[in-house]
Structure 1
C-alpha cells in the first residue's frame, strides 16, 4: 500500500509540475524588464580604480545604462530586442577630446563631417575651444549636423581685445565690455569661457577670469606674457591650455624672460628657448603643487605641438588620415607649414630642444597632483592634427613621458566631465551613466595604444559594431571625395 501511494503521489507530482512549467515560464517572462540593448560577456574597465570586472553584462535603456551585473543573472532579469555578446572584450567609457576646434568660414560642411569621424575613433565627447564658427557650433550642440556625432560642449565665441587677429571673437577694451561679454556667454549657455591674449590687456584678462569665477563659469585661455602662469591661476583660471605654459612656469626667471620678450629683445621662438634653458624641476614642482591646490587642470595638446616640432623630419604628405579631412580644412594647415619651412638649422635645433624640455613636465605634473585634461587641439589651422585619430596619439604620448595608461585614460574620460560638472552623467560604465561606450579587443590599462583596437562603439545607446564602423569609415571618406569633386568643378568654372 505504501509503495502504491508513493508511486501515485509521485505521478501526481509530476503532472502538477508539468502543468506548472508553462505558468512558471510565463511568470518569468513577465518578470523580465524590457530594455533596448544588452551587452553580454564583457570585461568592464573601471578607469578610476584601474580594475577590470569580468563576466559582466551592461544593460541599456534609451541613452542610459540602467544596470551592470553578473552576466549569468541577465536571462531572468532583462530582455532586449538587441543583445550583443562581446566575447570577453573590454568595455570602457567613450573617450573625450577636451580641446578641439571647429572653424573656417565657408567650411561648415567639412567641419560637420568631423562629427562622425570622432565617433569612428571611439571619441564620444568633445570640448570645442572656440573658432570663427561659434554660433554654428552652438547650433550644432542643440541640433547635431550629422546623424552620428559626439556630445558637444563649447565655449562659444572667445573673449579677446580690440582688433585681434582672430575672427569671430567678442572684442573687449574695458571692464564693462568684459561684463557684457560674460552676460552674452551666459545667455548663449556657453559650457565654459575661453579667453585669449592677442590684443587683450593683461589686467582685463585677470578681470575676466575673476568675474567668470564669481558667476560660477569655468575659464580657460592663453595667458598674456606679462603675467606669470601662477598669477593667472591664482585669479581663478580653471584650465591651462597647452603644455608650453607649464614649461614656462618652471623657468627660474619666468617674469624676467617675459619682460625681455615684451621689450622686443627676443623673438617668440628665442623666448621659448630661454624658458627651456632655465627650466628647473624644483621650481616647476613648487608651481605645480600650487596649481594642484587651486584645482587647476592642465590640457597639454602635446600631439599637435610635437607634430609641428618635428616637421623637418616628416612632412605628413603620405598620412592616411588625410583621406578623412576635407581640402578646405587641409588648406588651413598651410600657414604653420610655411612658417616651419622657413626655420634655419639653428631654429630647428632650438625647436627640438624646447619640445624635449616641455615633455619633462609630465612626470612633475603627476608628482604634484595636477589633473591632466586630455586634449589635442585638433581641427582647422592645426596642421596634421587629425580629429579623432590624434587623441590616441595624445594618450600614447602621455604614457611615453611618465604617465600610466590609467592616468592617460582618466585624463580623457574622467577629468573632462569633471571640469564641466558632468561627472554624474559621464566617466564610468555604471548605473545612471550615459550609454557612450567603446568595446576594445585588448586591455587599455595594459597598453593605452589598445584604445585604437575598436571592435564597437555605443553612442547614446546605439551600438555600432565593426561592420557599421567600417561602413561609417567609407561614408566619411566618400563625403570628403565628394566635397573635393565639387570644389574642383567650381574652380574649373
Structure 2
C-alpha cells in the first residue's frame, strides 16, 4: 500500500474513533487514587463521572476512551473518598437555627461530604436539612441523623425523648421510625439500666442501628451482647480492662462513689490482657466505637490553651460560642491535683486505642463538634481528630478508614460511599500531598467533588468567606442588643 492510501485509511478511521469516545460529565485526570481499604496508591488514574456516580477509574491507556465537557487536571494530586464525621451535634435552641445551618458549608469546605448527627434540640430543622441536601437544594454534607435521643425523666440533655417504661419506649421508637431516622441515640443521664438494655434490644429487633453512652452500672459485654452498635467516646471503653468494672459501676449508680474516684481504681487494676479480650468480644458482637478524641482533649487541656483567640472562632456564631461556657466553667473549678488527674485519665484512656484496633473493633472518626462542646470546631475538627488517631497509635491508613469506609459500612451505605470505585457516588477529595505518608495532608485540600459537582479551591474559600460574613453580621446584631 502506497503512502497516499495509508493516509486515506488512517483518515477514514478518525471519525469512527471520535464517535466511539464515551461521553461523561466529568474527568478527573491523572490523579493518584488512594485505596483506603488496602492502603495502597494507584498512580496516574483518571476518574470518569456520570450522573453523580463514578463510571470508571481508568489507567492512562483506558482513559483515552472518555471525553467530558469538564476536566480537572489532578496531576500530582491524591484522591481520597469524601470524609465522614461520625459524631456531630446541631442544637442550642430555635434562636440558633441559622447559626447551626452556617456549619453545613464548613463541613463541605473541609472535604467532609457526610456527617452523623448524634442528637440535639433542633431535630425538625436537621431532618429538613437532610432532605434539602439530598435534593441538592442546600449546600452541605449528606446528613445521617438520630433525631432526638432517648433518655430518662428530667435528664440534662435538651430536646430528648424522655421515657420511663416499655410503653413509652415503644412509642418513642415508633415516632423515630416515622421520621425515618438513620439510627437511634441512647444516653444514660437518668435512663435506668434496665430500660437502657430494653431500648437497645427493641431497636435491634426493629432493625434500627443504636449508638450510646454506656451506663456505668452495665458492663461493655452486657450492652454489646444486647445488640449495641456503637459506643460513643473512648473513655467508656477503658473500664472493661478492670475486674472492678461491674462493682465500681454499681457504686457510681448508687451514689456511693464518684466517677473520678472509680476511674482511679479502674486504672490501678487495669489488666491489658483483660482489656484485649473484652475488645475482641465487642468486635465479635459487631460493636464499634467513636473515640471523639479531639473534643475530650480540648477540655482536658483547657489549663494549657483556653482557645479564646482561635482564628476559627470567626466561623462560629455568638450563640454557639456561648454554649461553650458550661464545659469551660466546669473545667475551671478543678484545682491543680484535679487537672493532673484529668490529664492522666485522658492520656491513659486514649492509650487503649491501638488495642481496640488490633482486636478488630470498628473505629469511627467523629469529633463531637457542635453546640455545648467547647472549641471543638465543625470542619477542621475532623482533621484534628485524624491527627490524634494517628498520634495515639493508628496508622494513617487506619485513620482514613475510620473517616471513610468504616462510617459508610456502619450506616449500611458501603455500596454507595466510602471508597473510590466504579458505581459509587462521586464524592472525592483531591489533596496536594499523600495522606498515607502524613495524615496532616488531609488538610491540604485542592478540590472537593460532591456527587460529581466540583468545588475548586476558590469555591471552597468562598464558602468559608461567606460563613465568616454571616457570623460577623450575627455578632454585630448580638452586640447591638446588649444593654
TM-score range, shorter chain: over 0.9
Instruction: Report whether the alignment pairs 1:449 with 2:437.
Output: no
**Aligned residue among 36, 55, 63 for 1:47:** 36
Give TM-score, length-normalised by structure 2.
0.96
Instruction: Report whether the alignment pairs 1:35 with 2:24.
Output: yes
Equivalent residue of 1:249, what SS? helix
**Aligned residue among 62, 69, 73 for 1:85:** 73
Equivalent residue of 2:84, what SS? strand
**Aligned residue among 299, 308, 311 for 1:320:** 311
Question: 2:152 touches 2:163 (CA, 8 Å); kept in 1?
Answer: yes
Distance 1:278 1:334 in 2: 35
Equivalent residue of 1:349, what SS? helix
CA deviations 1:395-430 (Å, max 9, x no partner) are: 111111111111111111011011110000011111
Q: Alpha carbons of 1:184 and 1:16: their partners in 2 closer, same or farther (altered >3 Å)?
A: same
Question: 2:129 touches 2:138 (CA, 8 Å); kept in 1?
Answer: no
Equivalent residue of 1:104, what SS? coil
CA deviations 1:195-230 (Å, max 9, x no partner) are: 111111111110110111111111011112221121
CA deviations 1:269-290 (Å, max 9, x no partner) are: 3333333333221221111010
CA deviations 1:213-272 (Å, max 9, x no partner) are: 111111011112221121111100000110001112222301121222223233333333
Instruction: Report whether the alignment pairs 1:118 with 2:76.
Output: no
Distance 1:457 1:481 in 2: 26
Aligned residue number for residue 56 of structure 1: 45
Q: Alpha carbons of 1:15 and 1:414: their partners in 2 closer, same or farther (altered >3 Å)?
A: closer
How far 1:12 sits from its partner (Å)?
A: 5.4
Aligned residue number for residue 92 of structure 2: 104
How far 1:16 sits from its partner (Å)?
A: 3.3
Question: 1:243 touches 1:299 (CA, 8 Å); kept in 2?
Answer: yes
Query: Over aligned residues, Cα RMSD in angstroms?
Result: 1.6
Distance 1:119 1:248 in 2: 36
CA deviations 1:318-354 (Å, max 9, x no partner) are: 2111111111111100000001001111111111111
Question: 1:276 touches 1:358 (CA, 8 Å); kept in 2?
Answer: no
Aligned residue number for residue 149 of structure 2: 158
Aligned positions, number: 480
Question: 1:113 touches 1:146 (CA, 8 Å); kept in 2?
Answer: no
Instruction: Report whether the alignment pairs 1:364 with 2:352.
Output: no
Q: Identify the range of structure 1 (239-248 vs 167-176) with the bigger mean alpha-carbon deviation.
A: 167-176
Q: Where does 1:345-424 land on structure 2 (aligned, <5 Å)?
A: 345-424=336-415
Distance 1:423 1:71 in 2: 27
Equivalent residue of 2:482, what SS? helix
Aligned residue number for residue 334 of structure 1: 325
Instruction: Report whether the alignment pairs 1:10 with 2:2.
Output: yes
Question: 1:93 touches 1:438 (CA, 8 Å); kept in 2?
Answer: yes
Aligned residue number for residue 280 of structure 2: 289
Q: Alpha carbons of 1:146 and 1:120: their partners in 2 closer, same or farther (altered >3 Å)?
A: farther
Equivalent residue of 2:403, what SS? helix
Distance 1:436 1:173 in 2: 42
Distance 2:351 2:264 in 1: 14
Aligned residue number for residue 432 of structure 1: 423
Instruction: Report whether the alignment pairs 1:128 with 2:133.
Output: no
Question: 2:90 touches 2:122 (CA, 8 Å); kept in 1?
Answer: yes
| Deviation beyond 4 Å, 4+ runs, structure 1 | none
Aligned residue number for residue 271 of structure 1: 262
Distance 2:467 2:376 in 1: 17
CA deviations 1:446-486 (Å, max 9, x no partner) are: 11111111111111111111122222221121111121122
Aligned residue number for residue 137 of structure 1: 126
How far 1:35 sits from its partner (Å)?
A: 1.4
How far 1:73 sits from its partner (Å)?
A: 3.0
Distance 1:47 1:229 in 2: 29
Distance 1:488 1:15 in 2: 77
How far 1:86 sits from its partner (Å)?
A: 1.1
Q: Identify the range of structure 1 (79-88 vs 412-421) with the bigger mean alpha-carbon deviation.
A: 79-88
Q: Alpha carbons of 1:385 and 1:133: their partners in 2 closer, same or farther (altered >3 Å)?
A: same
Question: 2:86 touches 2:407 (CA, 8 Å); kept in 1?
Answer: yes
Question: 2:151 touches 2:162 (CA, 8 Å); kept in 1?
Answer: yes
Question: 1:436 touches 1:460 (CA, 8 Å); kept in 2?
Answer: yes
Instruction: Report whether the alignment pairs 1:180 with 2:171.
Output: yes
Give TM-score, length-normalised by structure 1.
0.94
Unaligned 5+ segments in structure 1 are 1-8
Larger Rg: 1
Q: Identify the range of structure 1 (95-104 vs 246-255) with the bigger mean alpha-carbon deviation.
A: 246-255
Question: 1:116 touches 1:146 (CA, 8 Å); kept in 2?
Answer: no
Distance 1:26 1:375 in 2: 52
Question: 2:217 touches 2:252 (CA, 8 Å); kept in 1?
Answer: no
